[in-house]
């Protein structure tokens, strides 16, 4: 993946100084416009140096033919022009080829991604090679590999983005994005205006969230914004930490993110179903992680109770867009919408200005601001997504790709579970999708798989014994008979998982 | 700053289909290799269509001259080659010009940065223009402007990086850096190997830190890594939060970052000079923020006491490199080393593997990982810095630029303070710099300015009345007679500050 590269100044010269030895040069040593004697012998074509069939070279004055005289030593302008033109061609071809090779590192003759990754692996204390290839994440799998479907690493989307060519490519000069500030007139002063615009544009295009009248905030992933929301909604002067709840099965990270610093402002209080109290922050994830259920707040907002809506999966590839979500705080992430998890960009749509201000303050104290490079990257990617549905020339339709992919994978999974006979899955549900203008099924990013074999109480342990790594239901406030399986990985790993699952009895 | 751009497929064709109307085309309608009658009349040069002085066009058979025959209708290969060559030139020039314009948005004819910034300013609820220019930070200043030197926004370095051209440019294809993982064999599994290598290389080049045998960890700025260090060093099962101390004047953000979540793991306990106790985490900043003092730990490590060394300013532009720093935890940041504050990348050199593991866990729970795009950007920039001192072709020497700049600014400041007569500054100190192999002065990134006028107890308030914004000494655990002034801003703002300061009585 030699996308990071340096272009030397020589490549931009285009001044003919990159003439390779193979260029064909035609020039007369004596200049002049009239054909020489050799030229006449050659039917009027200029003589090639060293190719005089008569064994010599001379200039035949033009006066014999036309009576006009030209200085004998000047090279004809035409020949100079041909020379320069050919030189420029070669320089241009070299430049274009270099750019093509850099943009397409799989081009034969370029070091493969795996080779580059090995070169790049850090050796403690070594000076390091001049390698600059980005990492490729986890290594590939074989039929014997341990298949890790524990994380929601969205590598499935890579195939789509490879097809888009340079539609989502970003170039950042060395002198750009250096300062801290983006737009000091905005509540979120470190947010890049282009990112703000692309977020709004995408939501209007998809129709999955009411964005007008909302503040857009950017974060280093939606995980940071989740903590920012807890910080913003917890009274600073409260005697007790505010309780944070969510309906089981809830996302396994909610308790960890809430409690890892043992904050005096907020504290995890478990399943919303069993919560008693007036002051709380309810985390509502819909479609839900892990089981894909479509959810509303259980406790709701009102009085001292607040809700934060995590809509990471509310996109057409996973679920029909049945309405424009319209809540006080809505969180989204690049990781699950476009697959760009490594960019670490999430955003929040926030109605209340004071809440937006406090969330911004959290980010400021946590990481000062949010990487401008990442924001520009995200803006570029979001633009490419919207362009695909903008009625223009782009034919790259992310949600179409995603929907087909998820539908296929769920079909394979249901078949494998049926073939196995010891697993069950949530019921298939569907709805009217306003974005695609058709009925669409729910094909969640995760499969909430249950092992029905009586003697298997710990499904994650059972699957681990068959070299399939999943996340146990007990991390989600549910029974260990359940596991969460990522549906977003690469094809090779997913296919091996399906084959293995179908064979389990 | 139209660095973000899309290249259409047409630009890569280079097939001559981009021939503009102005291209000069030379072709004979009849082909053939022998000069036509017009060509003979023109002294053997090909006839321009429509430029026949004899009012007609014809092909003059070659048989009269040489006895050889050629097909009358085939265009001479030479002319086809000239035509194709010129077409390719034009296509290449168009492509190169497009790339130049995109990379250099100040090029005449391109929308200026200010215009782009206005276009990009978010209007609530608008659909937004197709603007994609990155922000430019704070607007420019005039002689009447409020000069804000409160923040350490390192815009001074922009001039250097503009001069490097594309040496630090980064290109990221749409399909890259998507997944979460970088190197699962590393303690810091989300760190890009190239970033790791460039950090090590730079430290070896500059000699400011012993990097061999250390784990390198990456963070979203060193602020995140500071919290990560507090998390890692605080016993999880302690009954009381661990005290966090630093010697006054200390960096104003240390108390805020430590306490904003009211963590049960660690708590700000103020000035190390007055601390009593066995368990503590001492934050040692050297050169110190705000006053530039060269510091060692006051309480030191040992028993239940730990030290974290914040070496953000330990670079040749600010201070002589007198020794290779060799502490248990050392923090650095792009913001102050290269000026790339907006990229949000910092790193830690950590000796103890378990501490490194817990710091990594903090980042994981806080933001899952660190933006790969930002890491690649930082690696590219660090590479360019090291290349400048690598004995190769690069002539871009960041630390030379920075040192000259800081020396000049401190000279101006001392003159202005002397001219004013009511301000004092820390004494000028110097030392032997092993990197530059010469004696060098301490020219800190901030000026610790004291107002000596008896009736001015609140220096920040006094300066604010003269439209100069600084940060009051009381935020650093010192008297309000002191202020911290950023020395890292743009030239225009700094010059206005100097003039105003010199005039104050």
Summarised one tens digit per residue, pLDDT across range A34-70 is: 444 444 444 444 333 433 334 333 334 434 444 444 4
Inter-chain CB proximity A132 and B82 less than 8 Å: no
Backbone angles phi, psi at B485, to 5 degrees: -120, 130
Cβ–Cβ contact B409 with A under 8 A: no
* Band (A140; pLDDT cuts 50, 70, 90): confident
Residue ranges of domains in chain B: 147-156+397-503, 176-388
pTM of the model: 0.77
Each residue's pLDDT tens digit, B124-143: 333 333 336 788 776 789 98
Residues in chain B: 505
pLDDT at B135: 84
Residue of B nearest to A168 (CA): B174
Q: At a CB cut-off of 8 Å and minimum separation 6, what does B46 contact? A: B26, B28, B35, B36, B39, B79
- CB-nearest partner of B372 from A134, A194, A262: A134
Q: What is the distance between the alpha carbons of residues A119 and A101, in angstroms, rounded to a whole number?
A: 19
Residue of A nearest to B374 (CA): A373
- Mean pLDDT, chain B, rounded, equals 82
For B409, list phi and psi in degrees, rounded to 5: -65, -40
Rounded to the nearest 5 percent, the helix, strand and coil shares of chain A are 35, 15, 50
Residues in CB range of B421: below 8 A, 6 or more apart: B505
Cβ pair B383:A194 closer than 8 A: no
Whole-angstrom Cα Rg for chain B: 32
Identify all chain B residues contacting A158, using CB atoms and an 8 Å cutoff.
175, 178-179
Q: What is the mean pLDDT of residues A94-113?
A: 42
CA distance A448 to A473: 9
CA–CA min distance B281, chain A (Å): 16
Average pLDDT for residues B435-447, to the nearest whole number?
Answer: 97
Sign of torsion, CA A229 A234 A235 A236? negative
> Taking the domain B176-388, which CATH number applies?
3.40.640.10
State the ipTM, two decimals. 0.77
Given a cut of 90, whether residue A250 has pLDDT beyond it is: yes
Beta strands in B200-336 (DSSP E): 215-219, 242-246, 266-271, 280-285, 305-310, 329-333
Q: What is the mean pLDDT of chain A?
A: 82
Rg (CA), chain A: 32
The tens digit of pLDDT for each residue in A393-413 reads: 888 999 999 999 999 999 999
Interface of A with B in 213-242 (CB under 8 A): 213, 216, 220-221, 223-224, 227, 231
Contact: B166, A7; criterion CB under 8 Å? yes
Q: How far apart are CA B230 and CA B243, in angstroms?
A: 10
Query: How far is A7 from A29, CA to CA, in rounded Å?
Result: 37
Class of domain B147-156+397-503: alpha beta
Residue A101 touches partner B, C-beta closer than 8 Å: no
* pLDDT confidence bin for A173, thresholds 50/70/90: very high
Residue A122: pLDDT over 90: no
Beta bridge partners of B438: B433
Instruction: Using a CB–CB cutoff of 8 Å, tell me whether A257 touches chain B.
Output: yes
CB contact under 8 A, A343 and B376: no
Contacts of A149 in chain B (CB under 8 A): none
How confident is the model over B480-496, as a mean pLDDT? 97
Q: Please report the pLDDT score of residue A75 as a whole number.
A: 61
Pairing of strands A346-350, B147-148: unpaired
User: Which of A261, A385, A493 would you mutate first to test chain B, the one with the most B CBs within 10 A?
Assistant: A261
Q: Are B432 and B207 in contact (CB under 8 A)?
A: no
- Looking at the predicted structure, is the pLDDT value of residue A71 above 60? no
Look at residues B211, B220, B229 and name the one whose alpha carbon lies nearest to residue B310. Answer: B229
**Residue B349 in 3-state DSSP?**
strand
User: Taking 50 as the threshold, does the pLDDT of residue B51 lie above it?
Assistant: no
DSSP conformational letter for B187: S
3-state helix/strand/coil string of A54-85: CCCCCCCCHHHCCCCCCCCCCCCHHHHHHHHH
pLDDT at position B95:
60
Q: How far is CA A183 from CA A172, A188, A212, in A?
A: 19, 8, 19
Chain A residue with the nearest C-alpha to that of B117: A193
> Which residue in chain A has the smallest CA separation from B254?
A365
Mode of pairing for the β-strands spanning B280-285 and B242-246: parallel
What would the mean pLDDT of B163-190 be, rounded to a whole number? 92
- Count of beta carbons in the 10 Å neighbourhood of residue B194: 28
* pLDDT number for residue B139: 73
Residues of B whose CB is below 8 A from A62: 43
């Amino acid at each position: 993946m030699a996308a990071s590269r340096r272009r030397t100044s020589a490549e931009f010269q285009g001044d003919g100084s990159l003439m390779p030895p193979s260029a064909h040069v035609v020039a007369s040593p004596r200049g002049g416009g009239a054909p020489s004697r050799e030229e006449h012998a050659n039917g009027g074509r200029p003589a090639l140096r060293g190719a005089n069939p008569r064994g010599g070279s001379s200039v035949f004055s033009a006066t014999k033919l036309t009576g006009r005289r030209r200085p004998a030593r000047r090279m004809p302008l035409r020949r100079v022009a041909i020379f320069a033109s050919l030189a420029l061609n070669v320089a241009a071809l070299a430049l274009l080829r270099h750019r093509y090779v850099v943009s397409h590192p799989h081009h034969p003759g370029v070091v493969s991604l795996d080779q580059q990754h090995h070169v790049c692996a850090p050796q403690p204390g070594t000076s390091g090679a001049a390698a600059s290839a980005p990492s490729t994440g986890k290594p590939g799998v074989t039929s014997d590999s341990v298949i890790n479907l524990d994380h929601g690493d969205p590598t499935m989307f890579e195939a789509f983005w490879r097809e888009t060519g340079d539609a989502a490519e970003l170039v950042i000069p060395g002198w750009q994005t250096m300062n801290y500030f983006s737009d000091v007139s905005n509540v979120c002063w470190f947010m890049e205006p282009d990112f703000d615009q692309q977020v709004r544009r995408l939501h209007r295009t998809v129709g999955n969230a009411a964005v007008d009248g909302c503040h857009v905030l950017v974060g280093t992933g939606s995980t940071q914004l989740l903590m920012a929301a807890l910080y913003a909604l917890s009274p600073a002067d409260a005697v007790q930490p505010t309780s944070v709840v969510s309906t089981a099965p809830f996302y396994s990270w909610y308790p960890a993110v809430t409690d890892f610093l043992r904050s005096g402002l907020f504290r995890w209080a478990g399943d919303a179903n069993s919560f008693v109290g007036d002051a709380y922050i309810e985390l509502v994830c819909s479609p839900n992680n892990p089981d894909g259920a479509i959810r509303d707040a259980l406790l709701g907002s009102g009085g001292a109770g607040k809700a934060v809506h995590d809509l990471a999966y509310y996109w057409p590839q996973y679920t029909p867009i049945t309405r424009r979500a319209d809540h006080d705080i809505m969180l989204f992430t690049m990781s699950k919408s476009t697959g760009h998890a490594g960019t670490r960009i999430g955003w929040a749509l926030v109605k209340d200005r004071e809440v937006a201000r406090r969330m911004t303050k959290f980010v400021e104290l946590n990481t000062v601001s949010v990487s401008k490079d990442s924001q520009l990257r995200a803006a570029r990617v979001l633009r490419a997504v919207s362009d695909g549905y903008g009625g223009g020339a782009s034919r790259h339709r992310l949600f179409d790709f995603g929907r087909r992919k998820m539908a296929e994978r769920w079909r394979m999974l249901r078949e494998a579970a049926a073939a196995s006979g010891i697993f069950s899955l949530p019921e298939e549900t569907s709805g009217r999708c306003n974005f695609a203008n058709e009925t669409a099924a729910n094909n969640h990013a995760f499969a909430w798989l249950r092992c029905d074999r009586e003697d298997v109480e710990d499904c994650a342990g059972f699957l681990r014994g068959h070299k399939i790594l999943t996340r146990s239901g007990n991390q989600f406030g549910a029974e260990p008979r359940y596991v969460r399986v990522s549906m977003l990985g690469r094809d090779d790993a997913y296919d091996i998982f399906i084959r293995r699952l179908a064979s389990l009895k």
